[in-house]
Amino acid sequence: MDRSNHRAAGRSKAGADFLQLRPENAPPGGLAEWLATELRTAIADGRLALGSRLPATRQLAAELQVSRGVVTEAYQRLTEDGHITARGRAGTTVAAAPIDRPAVFQEPPGTPVGLAGLSVDGTQRARVGQLTLADPDQDIFDTMRAAPARIDLTPGVPDLAAFPRAAWLKAERAVLTDLSASAFGYGDPAGTPALRLAVANWLARNRGIKADPTDLIIVAGVSQALALICQVLGSDGITELAVEDPGSLGSRQHLQIWGMRTPPVPVDDSGLRVDVLRDTGAPAVLVTPAHQFPTGVVLDGERRRELMQWAIEGGLIIEDDYDAEHRYDRPPVPAIRGMLTEQVIYTGSISKLLAPALRIGWMLPPPRNRRALIAAKRHADLGNAGLPQLTLAHLMESGELERQLRFVRRRHRARRDAMIDAISNHLPTATVHGAAAGLHLTITFPDTLDDIALASAALARGVKTQPLSWHHQHPRSPGLVLGYAARTPTELTEAITLIAKAHKDVS
Amino acid sequence: MDRSNHRAAGRSKAGADFLQLRPENAPPGGLAEWLATELRTAIADGRLALGSRLPATRQLAAELQVSRGVVTEAYQRLTEDGHITARGRAGTTVAAAPIDRPAVFQEPPGTPVGLAGLSVDGTQRARVGQLTLADPDQDIFDTMRAAPARIDLTPGVPDLAAFPRAAWLKAERAVLTDLSASAFGYGDPAGTPALRLAVANWLARNRGIKADPTDLIIVAGVSQALALICQVLGSDGITELAVEDPGSLGSRQHLQIWGMRTPPVPVDDSGLRVDVLRDTGAPAVLVTPAHQFPTGVVLDGERRRELMQWAIEGGLIIEDDYDAEHRYDRPPVPAIRGMLTEQVIYTGSISKLLAPALRIGWMLPPPRNRRALIAAKRHADLGNAGLPQLTLAHLMESGELERQLRFVRRRHRARRDAMIDAISNHLPTATVHGAAAGLHLTITFPDTLDDIALASAALARGVKTQPLSWHHQHPRSPGLVLGYAARTPTELTEAITLIAKAHKDVS
């Protein structure tokens, strides 16, 4: 660029007025650090464009009515971390490298996604050799994940190829640019204030929940949330946590590992049978009201009222809001926690919104459980990692996450429709459930089919699914749980034709 | 360097005598493995310098009175993991990658680090109002962290201002560029293969440990490692874990939370009193052999042999290798795990090497504990987040982490020296302990001083320290634990003068 333009740009733009610098906001004794931070922010958000010239130290000092040493010190710090360069007569100019254009989102690679997490030794592969879907033990999900499959329809993951890599990197860069050194130390076990605030705002915008950020606890996903809840309830003498039937096998195994009995409560077309919940006498229940797993049923108004009444009479609701933001043909269902503050421990995560690999989730407990749950989180791992929390907070507050959600929702809907078409074409006897929302659908078969044999046959043909009976405590109609969000329409159509073949294999 | 010098150096240094190789110590049938481990340790601790030449296989075989095949096999293994290279007529030379010059790093910002982690609400500040150092309860460290202080000397953090922000971002960008979509899904609870391999290489280069990557378990720091170990040992009926006295209050509280009794074993100038450990009858012990916390004592050779003998007779050693890479005036002390595979659960983390906020650590258990510990990790949180693991692996394998370590080691040494000078000038009655390595030092006072009152008085004057008596189970001489790594020499000098004033306040 032409230097005279820099100077003009510099003069016209980079003054204290344009930057709206307010020295009175600086902490006592921290003027230079404050100014450096202000300038970094201005560079990060583009008010100070790349190549633009900063005012001379004397000029800026005069405008800010601070000593020239303060400005020199601030410029020095920005020079040290590469934001600006001093070029003699050319003056001091903004030199931070711009973020590259985002790369086109990658489609899933050809290598079977089922290999994700296959440990570098052969042990899991070896265990896959003995894979017995019929007997899902504690590490069945690790085993399944390690099982090679050409098309992975494991439910519970969004379109991983759509992870916003460039936006994530850009947000992290912005966070690192003006992060204080102390943020790299041990943090608040309940989570960084920035993310707790961002999640509170997210829940207000998207889930009808009004939460004080300081009531939120950041955790490593819903799985850890349930572990901490079991520990705290257990120390209160609670050893029984009713679950939905059908309901997530993984959650049920997890609760049992952490010492809970899990009496089943049937789910019908209106959702959880609250009358049966009462009969169990269980003091607490784990529910997925917005989009029940695996049936996809929405807890209807009457049942919500019954469930809240049960809670008001002393029951504790653990609300797993696992994929409520993914909806296609219906308005969003507000969270129960939005209507009932005292008797609900609400939990959700970023796993279905962005990626499970981020291991970030949140818990919104009633005030009386808050301290015990924070202590449990501290004793588990001293709190989540800081940098990813701050990066996610940046994505949430900038609107990037909502943008991402709108983007994947369109893709998910198209994929769901492709799967439903393929099912009606190739599996005419199957009934589709829970397609109005979420990342998966469930199909059931009228005949007396062994769905574990079906899932095994499908896996043998290269398609990974979950047999519905895994998620049943009491026998019901056989079926499969099919995740569609992470696969392309072409893959989904091929997968269904292969499942149809597998269905013939076992019929 | 000139090759002839290598050869001379090699000839004069790298013989079996110089390396004090004792084949009689080798396990039956494990001669090659034993020799490889010995040589790795010699490379790790500098006895075999970079570029120095190893003796010819025939020569070394003759000196050791072993078959030449044993030496060839050992050299082959070192070649495979990059420790040495065979250069035809130049012979076999030590080839650990050289490290580049470090980039410029930021000075710590002016804002008080003592405010780190202050939650957005007033609760912690309020609790600080009632701060009672005298009664360290389970959340004393959260309370302390939230306590405002102008200069924070809390031990256990490196120079946080030196966190390599640009290198981290660059590594993460490189990782994101060619990451498969499936890597954003649920991963292996034991950790990503890439980081397990990088850590295995790191331990071989820096800690004299030869580990199969698949034996490593990635965890959210040593704190989580101890929690998982307690869960697994507890399920084996072990409820007692001996600890060093003095020893970390935080670790002791943590073990107790997870159901362990923690009988104290005194530490003297040679380290842990193994004879007293025997008397306790405890089945397991948590030790910090390389740099004992808080005394800084190194477990000497005689005690190491006693401790290993105790383990060989059935004891379990949990080796917390918390800051072994930070050393100034002495050669590194190889990890006990490097010499004893079966009876040691080794654990370490990135907290003291890069930043606690990353929440990444590792565990190297004996094979028999491996599966149970991986299951415990899965039940805790399904595994660490993927992206930070891959980014860290990139930093470790590129040599960036060693570069960072060398850079901060110089800064830490200068800061330690500044603190020691200030102590001798302003606290003449204080005795300094454990300054040869680590990130903190301990001072003791001859007089019958209430060190909790001293720490409180220092905090009132704006300096955050830990009273030594916190870390004692049995009364000893009073003192303070002073972290110096994260503060500038100027801050350290000021802090010591303020502590001297506080000392007068309470004398």
**What residue spans define the domains of chain A?**
18-94, 115-161+404-506, 180-401
Amino acid type, A42: A
Q: What pLDDT, on the 0 to 100 scale, is given for residue B239? A: 96
In chain B, residues 110-149 whose CB comes closer than 8 Å to chain A = 110-111, 113, 115-121, 123-124, 138-139, 141-142, 145
Q: Which CATH class is domain A180-401?
A: alpha beta
Question: Is the CB of residue B4 less than 8 Å away from at least one CB of chain A?
Answer: no
**The domains spanning B115-161+404-506 and B180-401 adopt the same CATH topology:** no
Sign, CA dihedral A456-A462-A468-A473, equals positive
Residue B382 — very low, low, confident or very high, per pLDDT cuts 50/70/90? very high
Residue B54 — very low, low, confident or very high, per pLDDT cuts 50/70/90? confident
**Which residues are bridge partners to B265 per DSSP?**
B244
Residue A10 CB burial class (10 angstroms; 0-12, 13-18, ≥19):
buried
The parts of chain A modelled with pLDDT lower than 70 are 1-20, 43-51, 80-83, 87-90, 96-139
Please check the confidence at residue B216 and state whether its pLDDT lies above 60.
yes
Whether B185 sits inside 8 A of A113 (CB atoms) is yes
Q: What pLDDT, on the 0 to 100 scale, is given for residue A134? A: 58
Residue B84 — very low, low, confident or very high, per pLDDT cuts 50/70/90? confident
Q: What pLDDT, on the 0 to 100 scale, is given for residue A82? A: 61
Whether A121 sits inside 8 A of B212 (CB atoms) is yes
Q: Considering only alpha carbons, which residue of chain B is nearest residue A359? A: B385
ipTM: 0.76
Q: What pLDDT, on the 0 to 100 scale, is given for residue B272? A: 98
Residue of A104, A160, A177, A186 to mutate, testing the B interface (most B Cβ within 10 Å of its Cβ): A186
Whether B359 sits inside 8 A of A184 (CB atoms) is no
Min CA distance, A131 vs chain B (Å)? 17
Question: Is the CB of residue A76 less than 8 Å away from at least one CB of chain B?
Answer: no
Amino acid type, B7: R
Give the count of alpha carbons within 13 A of B162, CB side only: 25
How far apart, in whole angstroms, are the C-alpha atoms of residue B43 and residue A235? Answer: 50
Task: For residue B189, say if its preceding peptide bond is cis, omega within 30 degrees of 0.
Answer: no
How far apart, in whole angstroms, are the C-alpha atoms of residue B386 and residue A220? Answer: 12
Q: Considering only alpha carbons, which residue of chain A is nearest residue B379? A: A254
Q: Are B289 and B299 in contact (CB under 8 A)?
A: yes
Question: Pick from A78, A98, A77: which is nearest to A169 by CA?
Answer: A98
Q: What pLDDT, on the 0 to 100 scale, is given for residue B432? A: 96
In chain B, residues 14-33 whose CB comes closer than 8 Å to chain A = none
Sign, CA dihedral B269-B270-B272-B277, equals negative
Q: What pLDDT, on the 0 to 100 scale, is given for residue A50? A: 65
Report the mean per-residue pLDDT for chain B.
84
Lowest-pLDDT range of B34-38, B269-273, B372-376 = B34-38
Question: Pick from A96, A63, A69: which is nearest to A80 by CA?
Answer: A96
Helix (H) or strand (E) holding A19: helix A16-19
What tokens were used for A380? 């588990």
Whether A186 sits inside 8 A of B220 (CB atoms) is no
Q: What pLDDT, on the 0 to 100 scale, is given for residue A79? A: 72
Q: Considering only alpha carbons, which residue of chain A is nearest residue B382? A: A223
Domain A115-161+404-506 carries which CATH code? 3.90.1150.10
Q: What pLDDT, on the 0 to 100 scale, is given for residue B135? A: 54
Question: Is the CB of residue B224 less than 8 Å away from at least one CB of chain A?
Answer: yes
Q: What pLDDT, on the 0 to 100 scale, is given for residue B143? A: 76
Q: What pLDDT, on the 0 to 100 scale, is given for residue B108? A: 27
Question: Is the CB of residue A258 less than 8 Å away from at least one CB of chain B?
Answer: yes
Lowest-pLDDT range of A132-136, A407-411, B211-215, B340-344 = A132-136
Q: What pLDDT, on the 0 to 100 scale, is given for residue B124? A: 30
Residue B77 — very low, low, confident or very high, per pLDDT cuts 50/70/90? confident
Q: Would you say how long chain A is, in residues?
A: 507
> From its phi and psi, is residue B156 left (phi > 0), alpha (psi between -120 and 50) or beta?
left
Question: pLDDT tens digits for B392-435?
Answer: 999 999 999 999 999 999 999 999 999 999 999 999 999 999 99
Whether B355 sits inside 8 A of A213 (CB atoms) is no
Q: What pLDDT, on the 0 to 100 scale, is given for residue B110? A: 29
Higher pLDDT, A391 or B70: A391
How large a percentage of chain B has pLDDT more than 70? 83
Residue of A173, A359, A384 to mutate, testing the B interface (most B Cβ within 10 Å of its Cβ): A359
Cα A431 to Cα A169, A296, A505: the distances in Å are 43, 13, 19
The dihedrals phi and psi of B481, each to the nearest 5 degrees, come to: -105, 120
| Beta sheet of A431-433, edge-to-edge order | A431-433, A440-444, A479-483, A466-467
**B360 contacts: CB under 8 Å, gap ≥ 6:** A385, B195, B218, B219, B220, B221, B349, B350, B384, B388, B389, B392
Across residues B275-279, what is the average pLDDT?
98
Pick B224's closest partner by Cβ from A103, A254, A380: A380
Q: State the fold for domain A18-94.
A: Arc Repressor Mutant, subunit A (1.10.10)
Q: Are A85 and A95 in contact (CB under 8 A)?
A: yes
Across residues B442-458, what is the average pLDDT?
92
Min CA distance, B13 vs chain A (Å)? 38
Q: In the 3-class helix/strand/coil scheme, how is B43-67 assigned residue by residue?
A: HHCCCCCCCCECCCHHHHHHHHCCC
Whether B142 sits inside 8 A of A381 (CB atoms) is no
What tokens were used for A49? 């464009």
B117 by DSSP, 3-state: which? coil
